Amino acid sequence: MARTLEFDYDTTLERATRLFWKSGYAGTSLRDLLKEMGIGESSFYNTMKSKKRAYLECLKHYNETVARKRAKVFLEAPTAALGVRALFNNMLESLDNPDTPAVICMMAGSLTHEVLDEAELREYIEGRMTTLRDTMIARMNADKRDGLLTAGFEPQFVVPIVSTYMQGLWRMALVSYERSSFERQIDVFLTGLGL
């Protein structure tokens, strides 16, 4: 019926994701993005419609890969407490891995005015964060019923604390990161919370 796409959508999306991840939304210009994706303006606007929508697609792609793996790491641990610790270990591995595009999680990097001011982006991000928190809370409540967590343990407060602390850690890593120091403070933090 018509001409076929000359580029592979998944490949270009993957490349775009890594660039957005590394440089942020406003920090990535359309020219840089196109260069990285290896396509022209026409192809880009034909498939993506706008930079904002492209970022949204990249965020989704990020969640279907990186974030999904993190959720898996958490859920497959024998207990919620170990799951949370596995999550932080996964974070430290990302920080140590030179192949990781950025020193910050793409979701954490999206917690800025430039991104949050775009209604569609904000909505998606809020949704993902809520989902992740709900998953963790549910898991902890299950553990609590099984007696794996003390009766005084309150998942609905602990989980926001954990995710807030993690957001802070991603930011702090931007300033300076040293594994042993991070490891130690994470351990003190989690132990204090009863995890």
Partner DNA sequence: CCCATTATGTATCGAGTGCTACAGATCGTC
Partner DNA sequence: GACGATCTGTAGCACTCGATACATAATGGG
| Contact set with its own copies (CB under 8 A) | 23-24, 26-27, 108, 111-114, 116, 122, 125-126, 129, 154, 157-158, 160-161, 163-169, 171-172, 174-176, 181, 184-185, 188-189, 192-194
Q: How many residues does the chain have?
A: 195
b/e burial code for range 102-125 (CB count within 10 A of at least 16 → b): bebbbbbbbeeeebeebeebeebb
Tell me which of 11, 29, 130, 164 binds DNA, using CB under 7 A: 29
3 lines the binding site for DNA (CB under 7 A): yes
How distant, in Å, are the alpha carbons of 26, 27, 48, 183, 188 from that of 19?
11, 10, 16, 28, 34
Q: Is 7 in the site for DNA (CB under 7 A)?
A: yes
Report in angstroms the alpha-carbon separations of 44 from 10, 16, 50, 94.
Answer: 13, 11, 8, 30
**By CB under 7 A, is residue 10 in contact with DNA?**
no
Which of the residues 49 through 68 are near DNA (CB under 7 A)?
Answer: 50-52
Contact flag: residue 45 with DNA (CB under 7 A): yes
Q: Which residues bind DNA (CB under 7 A)?
A: 1-7, 26, 28-32, 39-43, 45-47, 50-52
